[in-house]
Amino acid sequence: MNKRYITTPIYYVNDIPHIGHAYTTIIADSLARFYRLKGYDTFFLTGTDEHGQKIEQAALSRGKNPKEYADIVSAKFRSLWDEFDISYDYFIRTTDENHKKGAQKAFEVMFEKGDIYKGEYEGHYCVSCETFFTDMQLINAELCPDCGRTTTLVKEDSYFFRLSAYQDKLLKWYEEVDDCVIPKAKKNEVINFVKQGLRDLSITRTSFDWGIKLPSSLSDSKHVLYVWLDALVNYLSALGYGTDEKNMSFWPASFHIVGKDILRFHGIYWPAFLMSLNLPLPKHIAAHGWWTRNGEKMSKSKGNVVNPREVAEAYGLENFRYFLLREVPFGQDGDFSQKALIDRINSDLGNELGNLLNRIIGMSGKYADFKLDSADVLKYHQKEIDAADTILEGAQSYIEELYTNKYLEELWKVLTIANQSIALYEPWNKIKEGKKDEALALVALSANLLAKAAVLLSPIMPKTADKIANALGFKIDTDTYNRLILKKELLKKTILTPTEPLFPRVEKELMSSPEPVTQPKEESKKEFISIDKFFACEIKIGTITKAEAIEKSDRLLKLSVDLGEAKERQIISGIRAYYEPAVLIGTQVCVVANLKPAKIMGLESEGMILTAEDKDGLSLIRPENTKAKGALIK
Ligand code: MSP
């Protein structure tokens, strides 16, 4: 039997579920339902990622021990997915014993293969992204290039994975397997990253405890596994890798569905680990874009994070699912606004889908006592049926490539054929003209088109599709899929059942908006800031009084800068490649004076010096003529 293995990322337990988590999970759920509908043996995995420094810190800040805390948040994810009727086959937690064994086995296999060696790691670490960065990658010598938060300098014993040894093999894989990473644009980003050169990867940490210990065979209890190695192995341990391997027949994964921010881990580290483990590589790693709200990035501080439960309660879960999968092309960023959601509900769902069902039931009640017979459909409407069958046959390749928006567009084309046929053939006039068989054939045509579309809509809107099927007197399952879609058959004789309108019109926004949107969408996309925001940043003139190179760093200089204050500032600046320390003494520079002090390479930095960089290099921004120390830049 054909098998499919579909995964979501496992979610960090430092945050409650938001629209981004719901999006990935709903795409994966729809795909799993699609393959089950086709009769494939499908395994759908989701779960929570519970180890690492970020979770440890989140737990401690709430006065909880990490496991206690992980239990609470993991249960929140699980209960939301249950409420959302997410059809996962297994919910993994990285604190599960089976998972720990799987992760330790993976480490052992890679170690025995010679792909892991011991050394010392020195570099920057972003706890929020759980990612290591080199000096060169940082923004302003200290900020994480991915999330912009301050990184910490880490110097500790570490085991390394020989990622560099897999660079060519990875490039070969990308070349040979066209759709190993989708969409194409994202694949190109991965290839470019790998082409820049891969460094070996630190895969253990010693400065905290909250992680999986190394396998006992290594007798090295100081280390815990790097959380990304731990997390990625979940895709194997969930199938029993390292314990009871009975579900390993589902490997390799058919689809790892991930957000674009974590593609590097899935598209580079994960296949390299798998090569080291001598396991086949996933068929598709599919990266989706990010959701914004009313054109703005969501963040807890703005209070504009979309809570999926709230949306589902206000607008209906299935409508929300439809919106998420219809609104954005896979891979692109999407914007959540109540207006857009309401438009989809009233127009696509209400006018085109719900009304079609009502009209079919109304006409069949009036003309045939709710009896439906497809006998004359091909006699009068072969053309319409053929067109619909062809569309539905082709539509399936879209969902198989995750282009759910195109998939739904195709299904809606079939609804349009039905709606247009009713308008064109005017069955009410046929009845008046005494052509009842033609009128009934038209009703049956519309019912068949709706039924076929409903079968393929069922992975996206399972309950709605079932309601349509109930009303039209059939059941949605693999057998029906085979008959109506694969073999292109028509509905058997049935009796239709009147039903409540599926999509009552939504007249006004049903959730209180977190922030009034003042800018038109295009404007807000440009992310203008107010003058107050600019003035919140104090930029002052300062004179450099001392400058010296920092040992072990080819980027950084340690500067003393006089801003006319009681004490000079120590500023660590990444300008070493462009300026000899001696030439800087006495020069005036622009300093961001109210920046939160940060530690860079263990040294306190009390401000930031402004520079400009282009292809010719980097230059300091200096006043045209000497200005008083501390003069404010406006
Ligand atoms: N724990 C890791 C994944 C490990 S998988 C082996 C992780 N977790 S996460 O909870 O931070 O993020 C999970 C997913 O949510 C990611 O795929 C991420 O892209 C997605 N999203 C987070 N915010 C998002 C939006 N605003 N929009 C869409 N998806 C976003 O990363």
**Does the Cβ of 449 fall within 6 Å of ligand 1?**
no
CA distance 397 to 155: 49
Residues 6+ apart with CB under 8 A from 272: 161, 163, 166, 169, 170
Q: Whose CA is nearest to atom 19 of ligand 1?
A: 259
For residue 144, how far is its CA from the centre of ligand 1 (angstroms)? 17
**Does the Cβ of 12 fall within 6 Å of ligand 1?**
yes
Instruction: List the one residue out of 495, 449, 478 whose CA is nearest residue 357.
Output: 449
Query: How many angstroms from the chain centroid is the CA of residue 116?
Result: 30
Q: Whose CA is nearest to atom 24 of ligand 1?
A: 20
Residue 70's Cβ-side half-sphere holds a number of Cα atoms within 13 Å equal to 24
Q: Whose CA is nearest to atom 16 of ligand 1?
A: 259
For residue 290, how far is its CA from the centre of ligand 1 (angstroms)? 9
The pLDDT value given to residue 215:
97
- Out of 6, 7, 8, 11, mutate this one to test ligand 1's pocket (max ligand atoms within 8 Å of CB): namely 11
Query: How many angstroms from the chain centroid is the CA of residue 329?
Result: 13
- Out of 261, 291, 294, mutate this one to test ligand 1's pocket (max ligand atoms within 8 Å of CB): namely 261
**Could you count the other beta carbons within 10 Å of the beta carbon of residue 102?**
27
CA distance 604 to 334: 40
Q: 578-601 burial by CB neighbour count: b if 16+ within 10 A, else e?
A: ebebeebeeebbbbbbebeebebb
Q: Whose CA is nearest to atom 13 of ligand 1?
A: 11
The pLDDT value given to residue 87:
98
CA dihedral for 88, 89, 95, 100, sign (positive or negative): negative
Q: Whose CA is nearest to atom 5 of ligand 1?
A: 9
Q: Please, what are the averages of pLDDT over each run of 10 residues along the chain (634 residues)?
A: 94 93 98 98 98 94 94 97 98 98 98 97 91 87 88 93 98 98 96 96 95 96 97 98 96 98 97 98 97 87 90 98 97 96 98 98 97 97 98 98 98 98 97 97 98 98 98 98 98 96 96 55 48 82 92 83 94 86 90 86 88 78 90 89
**Does the Cβ of 47 fall within 6 Å of ligand 1?**
no
Q: In ligand 1, which atom is closest to the CA atom of 234?
A: 6
The pLDDT value given to residue 521:
36
- Out of 24, 51, 226, mutate this one to test ligand 1's pocket (max ligand atoms within 8 Å of CB): namely 24
Which amino acid is present at 474? F
Q: What angle do CA 542, 547, 548 make, to 5 degrees?
A: 155
Q: 117-126 burial by CB neighbour count: b if 16+ within 10 A, else e?
A: eeeebebbbb
**Does the Cβ of 261 fall within 6 Å of ligand 1?**
yes
Question: Going from the N-terminus, what domains does the chain have, and what CATH number goes with each?
Answer: 3-297 (3.40.50.620), 337-495 (1.10.730.10), 528-620 (2.40.50.140)
**Does the Cβ of 21 fall within 6 Å of ligand 1?**
yes
**Does the Cβ of 9 fall within 6 Å of ligand 1?**
yes
For residue 175, how far is its CA from the centre of ligand 1 (angstroms)? 27
**Does the Cβ of 103 fall within 6 Å of ligand 1?**
no
**Does the Cβ of 8 fall within 6 Å of ligand 1?**
no
Element (H, E) at 364: helix 355-368
> Which residues is 202 bridged to in the sheet?
160
In 38-150, which ranges are continuous DSSP H helix? 53-61, 66-83, 97-112
Q: What angle do CA 575, 578, 579 make, to 5 degrees?
A: 80
Residue 270 and residue 242 in contact, taking contact as beta carbons nearer than 8 Å: no
Crossing angle, helix 308-315 and helix 19-37, to 10 degrees? 60
